[in-house]
């Protein structure tokens, strides 16, 4: 949307109070996110400016949004490309020529959606209700978006969807085909492939090994398992077993030994007994993911999991989350320490704190440099230290 606004000759304001109109893209995946979103929308509503709300809350929780921001206008997800028409209706028309975003808002990474919706039917998922059936974009359209982004200087292209592995199933194409096409584009950039559901990855795994071998593709696999217990996976209706997940991880690691694996676990799913949790713990200890997102189960309105019996007590859920967090730190630190002393090419992508810069190795490990360096450049770095979630580096 930010790109479209600049293309339309409108200026992105640096802060909400300097703007003529506020645009907020929302998420409601778990209850805490929903609460944060409503708090933020309510604060922004206090500025008494028009507010355009997009994202999942604009699809399924309009009443909640209107209760904190009665002036909100909703921009459906399928129409975000037409943001400028919405702004024009509010009296905001841009100059005839596109404007570049101001340097302080300029990122070198950009998310390019390749599909909306998914083929899943996960019982806990509210995103499915908001995004609906899988609708993949044509390969040519995505290619054109990426070409434009690379021309504009973006270096990290994040190919994203609710389930990137499902891309193209509805239209006779596939994720490996898309990644192959994007990797052929001219320019100096890297592609990061987003989250994949194990059940859809199974179909395309062999072709995707080949696509991941391209030097422009980060060797990074985000494969949420959600539970190590097949009984709980069936209750979640995830469509695979923990064995299928482990086999996938093994195959990708054999094809790309240094691939970074990120996975997700939900703790406290209704009916999750102590031994189910133990299976999740054992799975994580066995596969040693490089990063692990731990989410406490949150009953979302309208989902069938919200009506399941066997609610797990809050204190047990917290305890399980703490146990996994500890395991995550131990694994992260141990794995990152193995890399200390090596030299790695790194793409500099972010300034998180003043006086430092964050970059990504070619297997997408974050490296922090204790100096300000030009974003978007490729450097050679020596890895000098390791924390559980990132590495320290120095320029060579
Ligand atoms: S694959 Fe499952 S968790 Fe992911 S968006 Fe679809 S229904 Fe939700």
pLDDT single digits (tens) 148-186: 999 988 999 999 999 999 999 999 899 999 999 999 999
Give yes or no: residues 308 and 358 share one domain.
Answer: no
Structural domain includes residue 7:
yes
Give yes or no: residues 168 and 314 share one domain.
Answer: yes
Minimum CA distance residue for ligand 1 atom 6: 120
- The preferred substitution site among 136, 160, 162 for testing ligand 1, maximizing ligand atoms within 8 Å of CB, is 162
Structural domain includes residue 352:
yes
Least confident window among 103-117, 344-358, 378-392: 103-117
The parent domain of residue 34 ranges over: 2-89
pLDDT at 280: 98
Give yes or no: residues 153 and 277 share one domain.
Answer: yes
Domain count, the chain: 3
Structural domain includes residue 208:
yes
Structural domain includes residue 28:
yes
Q: Give the domain-ending residue among 318, 337, 356.
A: 337
Structural domain includes residue 98:
no
CA–centroid distance, residue 27 to ligand 1 (Å): 14
Give yes or no: residues 248 and 301 share one domain.
Answer: yes
CA–centroid distance, residue 205 to ligand 1 (Å): 19
- The preferred substitution site among 28, 115, 122, 198 for testing ligand 1, maximizing ligand atoms within 8 Å of CB, is 122
Q: Find the mean pLDDT for residues 244-257.
A: 97
Structural domain includes residue 282:
yes
Give yes or no: residues 195 and 263 share one domain.
Answer: yes
Q: Which atom of ligand 1 is nearest to the CA of 197?
A: 1
Q: Give the domain-ending residue among 311, 337, 363.
A: 337
CA–centroid distance, residue 128 to ligand 1 (Å): 6
Q: Give the domain-ending residue among 337, 353, 374.
A: 337
Q: Which atom of ligand 1 is nearest to the CA of 131?
A: 5
Give yes or no: residues 224 and 311 share one domain.
Answer: yes
CA–centroid distance, residue 129 to ligand 1 (Å): 9
For residue 101, pLDDT beyond 70? no
> Residues with Cβ within 6 A of ligand 1?
118, 120, 122, 125, 127-128, 162-163, 197
Give yes or no: residues 119 and 254 share one domain.
Answer: yes
CA–centroid distance, residue 28 to ligand 1 (Å): 13
Q: What is the CATH number of the domain that holds 169?
A: 3.80.30.20
pLDDT at 107: 84
Give yes or no: residues 115 and 171 share one domain.
Answer: yes
Minimum CA distance residue for ligand 1 atom 4: 162
* pLDDT band, very low/low/confident/very high, at 396 (cuts 50, 70, 90): very high
- The preferred substitution site among 125, 235, 237 for testing ligand 1, maximizing ligand atoms within 8 Å of CB, is 125
pLDDT at 98: 79
Q: What is the 3-state secondary structure (H, E, C) of the chain?
A: CHHHHHHCCCCCCCCHHHCCCEEEEECCCCHHHHHHHHHHHHHHHCCCCCEEEEEHHHHHCHHHHHHHCCCCEECCHHHHHHHHHHHHHCCCCCCCCCCCCCHHHCCCEEEEECEECECCCCCCCCHHHHHCECEECCHHHHHHHHHHHHHCCCCEEEEECCCHHHCCCCCCCCHHHHHHHHHCCCCCCEEEECCCCHHHHHHHHHHHHHHHCCCCECCEEECCCECCCHHHHHHHCCCCCHHHHHHHHHHHHHHCCCCEEEEEEEECCCCCCHHHHHHHHHHHHHHCCCEEEEEECCCCCCCHHHHCCCCCCHHHHHHHHHHHHHHHHHHHHHHHHCCCCCEEEEEEEECCCCCCEEEEECCCCEEEECCCCCCCCEEEEEEEEECCCCEEEEEC
pLDDT at 246: 98
The reported pTM is: 0.94
Structural domain includes residue 194:
yes
Q: Find the mean pLDDT for residues 89-112.
A: 81
pLDDT at 81: 87
Structural domain includes residue 94:
no
Give yes or no: residues 54 and 117 share one domain.
Answer: no
CA–centroid distance, residue 343 to ligand 1 (Å): 38
Give yes or no: residues 151 and 71 share one domain.
Answer: no
Give yes or no: residues 218 and 350 share one domain.
Answer: no
CA–centroid distance, residue 167 to ligand 1 (Å): 13
Give yes or no: residues 31 and 135 share one domain.
Answer: no
């Amino acid at each position: 949307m930010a790109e479209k606004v600049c293309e339309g000759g409108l200026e992105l304001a640096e802060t909400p109070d300097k703007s003529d109109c506020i645009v907020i893209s929302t998420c409601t995946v778990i209850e805490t996110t929903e609460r944060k979103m409503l708090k933020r929308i309510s604060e922004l509503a206090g500025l008494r400016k028009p507010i355009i709300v997009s994202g999942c809350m604009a699809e399924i929780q309009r009443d909640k949004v209107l209760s904190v921001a009665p002036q909100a206008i909703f921009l459906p997800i399928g129409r975000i490309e037409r943001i400028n028409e919405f702004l024009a209706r509010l009296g905001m028309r841009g100059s005839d020529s596109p404007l570049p975003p101001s340097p302080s808002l300029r990122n070198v990474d950009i998310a390019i959606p390749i599909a909306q919706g998914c083929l899943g039917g996960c019982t806990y998922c509210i995103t499915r209700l908001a995004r609906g059936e899988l609708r993949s974009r044509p390969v040519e359209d995505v290619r054109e978006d990426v070409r434009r982004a690379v021309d504009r200087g973006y270096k990290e292209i994040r190919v994203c969807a609710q389930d990137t592995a499902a891309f193209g199933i509805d239209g006779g194409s596939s994720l490996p085909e898309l990644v192959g096409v994007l990797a052929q584009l001219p320019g100096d950039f890297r592609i990061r492939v987003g989250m994949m559901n194990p059940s859809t990855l199974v179909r395309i795994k062999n072709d995707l090994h080949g696509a991941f071998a391209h030097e422009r593709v980060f060797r990074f696999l985000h494969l949420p398992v959600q539970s190590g217990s097949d009984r709980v996976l069936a209750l979640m209706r995830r469509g695979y077993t923990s064995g299928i997940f482990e086999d996938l991880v093994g195959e990708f690691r054999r094809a790309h030994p240094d691939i970074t694996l990120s996975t997700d676990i939900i703790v406290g799913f209704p009916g999750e007994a102590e031994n189910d949790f133990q299976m999740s713990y054992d799975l994580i200890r066995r596969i040693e993911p490089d990063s692990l997102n731990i989410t406490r189960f949150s009953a979302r309105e309208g989902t069938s999991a919200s009506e399941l019996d066997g609610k797990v007590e809050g204190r047990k859920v917290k305890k399980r989350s703490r146990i996994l967090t500890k395991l995550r730190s131990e694994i992260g630190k141990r794995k990152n320490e193995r890399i200390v002393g090596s030299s790695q090419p790194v793409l500099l992508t972010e300034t998180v704190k003043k006086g430092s810069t964050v970059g990504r190795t070619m297997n997408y490990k974050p490296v922090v440099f204790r100096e300000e360096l030009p974003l978007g450049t490729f450097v050679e770095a020596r890895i000098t230290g390791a924390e559980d979630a990132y590495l320290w580096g120095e320029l060579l």
